[in-house]
Amino acid sequence: MQHVDGNALAGPLAEFFSFDLTTAIARCSGCGAVGELARTMVYRSGAGTVVRCSECDQVLATLVETADRAWIGLSGISAIEVPRG
Amino acid sequence: MSDAATGTTAPAPAPSAALLAVPRSGWHVATVASTRRETPNASRIELEVDGWPGNAAGQHLDVRLTAPDGYTATRSYSIASSGAGTRVTIAVDKLPDGEVSPYLVDEVRAGDMLEVHGPLGAFFVWAPDAADAAAAGEARPVQLIAGGSGVVPLYAMAEAHGAAHDLTSFRLLYSVRSPDDVYFADELRRLAEASAALQLDLVYTRRSPAGWPTPPARITREVLEAAVIPAAERPRVFVCGSTGFVERVADWLVELGHDARSIRTERYGGT
């Protein structure tokens, strides 16, 4: 299936965070690239969602949703910055 | 993370964009208020959404369908409307092997109820702010680039721009198969006629109207260069379409000298 991008994470991430995280700046722990989560590459399948760095393709995050649970792993993100105010 | 600058010293995006206030998202029950054919392959669906907090131009919502056995399918759709109020318009393209879009395009009727989650996304949005920006000497022109049904969030931006009588220079480049496939055709024509600040450029990829100056063809780098605001004017650029379209266009824009950080993209997948 053709990939999409991090804009599509806005809905799933709302299960975990109370504000829109797609404009947050994340740092890839693989190559050090920084950018909004909306700029990541997103691969979806029936098994779940894989978020990859658009620079080095490293897996940044994985999401799995079932009827009664939502799970997120953030194995490839070394820092997240959000605006205050 | 598609930024050209990969160093850790890359500057943060403009605060005005990052801090743009968007209403809090949540799950809502939507009642279909009306449906109509938008193109031979798409429908425009107007929803009355109980508790909807309004939305910014360019945001999307997720629609969740639940089968009698509990199976659910969720898909994202861009919102064609913006502003306060509980009326929300989406336009849905039917995917031949889709689980959700054939139902929305062919089956949904006024009075039907849908579960929707939104408004979603604060990245691919535009808000009228020209007065403040102009006063601060920061007004930058806006270039919108759409492929097919990717025009929906960009139409919302153009409509918000027109409704606000915003003086920011706007240009919409819209790549579409044929005249029959143009979304919001009448509305776009009216917006472009009503405002000198909006320029509409159409590129037909399969069939052109009679008398059109160029034969139908996909957008090339040369066409892009000729039809977008030059990089020297530092436009903010929004690109939405299929993943292949968006990535081709974004790469060309960078080659043409546009700052990767000024290009915001939204890919809907597809081919």
Tens of pLDDT, residues B178-219: 999 999 999 999 999 999 999 999 999 999 999 999 999 999
Confidence of residue B23 (pLDDT cuts 50, 70, 90): confident
User: Hey, are the CB atoms on A4 and B62 less than 8 Å from each other?
Assistant: no
**What pLDDT, on the 0 to 100 scale, is given for residue B134?**
57
Q: Using an 8 Å CB-CB cutoff, list residues of chain A that contact chain B.
A: 1-8, 10-11, 14, 18, 20, 22-23, 25-28, 31-36, 38-40, 53-55, 67, 81, 83, 85
Confidence of residue B9 (pLDDT cuts 50, 70, 90): very low
CATH code at position B35: 2.40.30.10
Let me know: does B139 contact B168? Beta carbons within 8 Å: yes
Confidence of residue B271 (pLDDT cuts 50, 70, 90): low
Asked which of B72, B101, B120 is the last residue of a domain, the reply is: B120
User: Hey, are the CB atoms on B25 and A14 less than 8 Å from each other?
Assistant: yes
- pLDDT top residue among A67 and B146: B146
Q: How many domains does chain A have?
A: 1
Q: Which two tokens stand for residue A7?
A: 């804009």
Tell me if B4 is assigned to some domain: no
Asked if B107 and B140 sit in the same domain, the reply is: no
State the residue range of the domain holding B164: 130-267
**A20, A23, A55: residue with CB nearest B1:** A55
The answer to whether residue B22 scores a pLDDT higher than 70 is yes
Quote the DSSP letter at residue B16: H
Let me know: does B90 contact B47? Beta carbons within 8 Å: yes
Neighbours of B99 (CB within 10 A): 13
User: Hey, are the CB atoms on A28 and B13 less than 8 Å from each other?
Assistant: no
The answer to whether residue B8 scores a pLDDT higher than 60 is no
Asked if B67 and B145 sit in the same domain, the reply is: no
Across B176-214, b (16+ Cβ under 10 Å) vs e yields bbeeebbbbbeebeebbeebebbebbbbbbeebeeeeee
CATH code at position B235: 3.40.50.80
Tell me if B43 is assigned to some domain: yes
Asked which of B94, B120, B146 is the last residue of a domain, the reply is: B120
What would the mean pLDDT of B127-142 be, rounded to a whole number?
A: 71
**What pLDDT, on the 0 to 100 scale, is given for residue A26?**
97
Alpha-carbon gap, residue B159 to A49, rounded angstroms: 33
Instruction: State phi, psi for B161 to the nearest 5 degrees.
Output: -60, -45
State the residue range of the domain holding A61: 4-81
Let me know: does B204 contact B179? Beta carbons within 8 Å: yes
The answer to whether residue B266 scores a pLDDT higher than 80 is yes
Q: Which of the residues in chain A have pLDDT under 70?
A: 85
- Residues comprising chain B, all counted: 271
**What pLDDT, on the 0 to 100 scale, is given for residue B66?**
92
What would the mean pLDDT of B229-253 be, rounded to a whole number?
A: 97
Q: How many domains does chain B have?
A: 2
Amino acid in position B262: S
- pLDDT top residue among B215 and B9: B215
Instruction: State phi, psi for B75 to the nearest 5 degrees.
Output: -135, 150
Asked if B142 and B216 sit in the same domain, the reply is: yes
Asked if B95 and B219 sit in the same domain, the reply is: no
**What pLDDT, on the 0 to 100 scale, is given for residue B258?**
98
Asked if B109 and B236 sit in the same domain, the reply is: no
Alpha-carbon gap, residue A38 to B253, rounded angstroms: 19
Asked if B66 and B189 sit in the same domain, the reply is: no
Asked if B148 and B33 sit in the same domain, the reply is: no
Asked if B245 and B148 sit in the same domain, the reply is: yes
Asked which of B120, B146, B177 is the last residue of a domain, the reply is: B120
Tell me if B37 is assigned to some domain: yes
- Exposure on the CB side of residue B113, measured as CA atoms within 13 A: 6
Asked if B116 and B135 sit in the same domain, the reply is: no
Tell me if B158 is assigned to some domain: yes
Asked if B115 and B138 sit in the same domain, the reply is: no
Q: Measured between beta carbons, which residues in chain A are less than 8 angstroms from residue B120?
A: 10-11, 14, 20
Gap from B213 CA to chain A (nearest CA, Å):
34
**What pLDDT, on the 0 to 100 scale, is given for residue B167?**
87
Tell me if B192 is assigned to some domain: yes
Asked if B162 and B261 sit in the same domain, the reply is: yes
Alpha-carbon gap, residue A33 to B3, rounded angstroms: 8
What would the mean pLDDT of B33-44 be, rounded to a whole number?
A: 98
Which range (A25-29, B21-25, B79-83, B152-156) has the least confidence? Answer: B21-25
A80, B57, B58, B145, B248 from B151: Cα distances, Å: 31, 12, 10, 8, 16
Q: What is the mean pLDDT of chain B?
A: 90
Three-state secondary structure call for residue B82: coil
**What pLDDT, on the 0 to 100 scale, is given for residue B15?**
39
Q: Nearest to residue A24, comparing CAs of A42, A12, A9?
A: A9
What does the pLDDT look like over B84-122, one tens digit per residue?
999 999 999 999 889 999 999 999 999 999 999 999 999
Asked if B57 and B141 sit in the same domain, the reply is: no
Give every CB contact of residue A85 below 8 A, 6+ residues apart in sequence. B19
